Structure 1
Amino acid sequence: MPFQLHQRKVLQWFLMLLAAVTLSACGFHMRGPANLPFKTIFLGFADNSQLGTELKRYIRASGVEVVSDKDEAEAVLQVIADTREKKILTLNTNGRVREYSLYQRFSFLVRDNKGAVLIPPTNITLKRDITYDENQELAKQAEEVLLYRDMQSDLVQQILRRLSASKTATAGTADPVEE
């Protein structure tokens, strides 16, 4: 009996080790800071913009300096549009609202310090659906605020991914090396 118990323990340890090796080999890793292709950037957001503040925090965390003067920046993010919209999605049999669709639309472009376009005008549209109950008005308003905050965080991540991807675009426009 002790031999079987020992065999079972060895098998359990082997299976745990196999699971750990399999999980580490799948390529999963935590998202790190963005790898941006410039050292300084100017963000064209209003000073009180929550989206601008969150984006600035993530850009600084990636090691890029956010400057307050366009002339000092290697890249300039120009905000074309930033809008939020709420549309009725469904009505009940009494004609009262049952669901809304919340939209956040954001358009931007990025230029270098010479005025060349690094990222052409880009539109990002985010949508979330929310149920509505007039008996829970305050709770639904709070849920709407949370959904907009979630969309803003998602929007910041998408902008960062596009800024990181511009590295390949700027590398492709560099002067070719003669052989």
Structure 2
Amino acid sequence: MNPRPASRSPDLPAVVPRRAVWTALAGAGLFVMAGGLGGCGFALRQAPNFAFSSLRVAVYVGTPVSRALQRELAASGIQVVNTAAVAGQPPVQVVLEVLLDQRERAVVGQTASGQIRELQLRTRFRYRLSTPSGKRLIEETEMLLERDISFTETGALAKAAEEQLMFNDMQGDIVQQVMRRLAAVKSL
């Protein structure tokens, strides 16, 4: 004998599915976590604010990192000039002297037979920032990024492409670091 299930009384509430309960709890948890992150000072990285609106790049103007930095500064609303002051042109507020922009490739590992197994790629960038009158805002600073890469003779063309990608990645890292340091200058 199977007892028949009792029919539900119209005054009893419907049973809430477990999925709906878990979804509501997860949403409440995310809301609490978001409030906690905002209260601790967490904020997404904002576009940099600069204390200057015009900049002249001096010395190494056409090197890869220097050109990428000029593009990034221009995209941030900074007027970038790479020539000396011309009559009738408003003076720039700061001068960025690019003292060194160098890419290096060094062998760091070889097999017993002398074949190259590992390379180290380096990008050096040295610069300083000053006002046109000569006041130093950022002293001479050198940045050095290094990346290791394995190497095989059979995949030399593929490795050359990988090297170029790694150099471009290091270039982007240096540009972002310099941008943050330039934005850290608060007064001229």
TM (norm. structure 2) is 0.79
Other structure's SS at 1:158 match: helix
For 1:12-51, what aligned pairs fall within 5 Å after superposition?
A: 12-23=23-34, 25-26=36-37, 27-29=42-44, 31-44=45-58, 46=60, 48-51=62-65
Higher helix proportion, which one? Answer: 1
What residue is the counterpart of 1:10 in the other structure? Answer: 21
8 and 143 in structure 1: CA distance in 2 versus 1, 3 angstrom threshold: closer
Question: Which segment is superposed worse, 99-108 or 48-57?
Answer: 48-57
Q: Which runs of 5+ in 2 are unaligned?
A: 1-12, 86-90
Structure 1 residue 107, shift from structure 2 partner: 0.7
Equivalent position of 1:112 in the other structure = 131
CA contact (8 A) 1:88 1:99 kept: yes
- Which segment drifts farther, 124-133 or 63-72? 63-72
**Pairwise mapping of residues 123-142 of structure 1 onto structure 2 (< 5 A)?**
123-142=142-161
Q: Distance in 2 between matches of 1:47 and 1:118?
A: 20
2:80 to 66, 77, 96: 66
Give the AA of the match of 1:43. V
Identical-pair percentage: 32
Kept after mapping to 2: 8 A contact 1:33/1:58: no
Q: Residue by residue, what CA displacement relative to the aligned partner does 1:18-49 show, whole Å, maximum 9, x if unpaired?
A: 225424643252x4322111111111265543
Residue 143 of structure 1: how far off its partner (Å)? 0.4
- Which amino acid in the other structure matches residue 131 of structure 2? D
Letter in 2 for 1:11: W
**Secondary structure, in 3 states, of the residue corresponding to 2:137?**
strand
- 1:75 shift after superposition: 0.5
**Per the alignment, do residues 68 and 99 of structure 1 end up closer, same or farther by CA in structure 2, a change over 3 Å counting?**
closer
Pair 1:84 & 2:84 matched: no
Q: Report how far residue 166 of structure 1 moved.
A: 1.9
Q: Once structures 1 and 2 are overlaid, which stretch shifts more, 135-144 or 105-114?
A: 105-114
> Which is worse superposed, 33-42 or 126-135?
33-42
What secondary structure is seen at the aligned counterpart in 1 of 2:130? strand
Q: Single out whichever of 98-107 and 86-95 deviates more from structure 2.
A: 86-95
Aligned length: 167
Contact 1:90 1:97 in 2 (8 A): yes
Structure 1: which 5+ runs fail to align?
Answer: 172-179
Residue 162 to residue 138, structure 1, CA distance change in 2 (3 Å):
same
**How much has 1:10 moved relative to structure 2?**
3.2
Instruction: Give the conservation status (yes or no) of the 8 Å contact 2:59–2:99.
Output: no
User: What do you get for the CA RMSD once the two structures are aligned?
Assistant: 2.2
Q: TM-score, normalised by structure 1?
A: 0.82
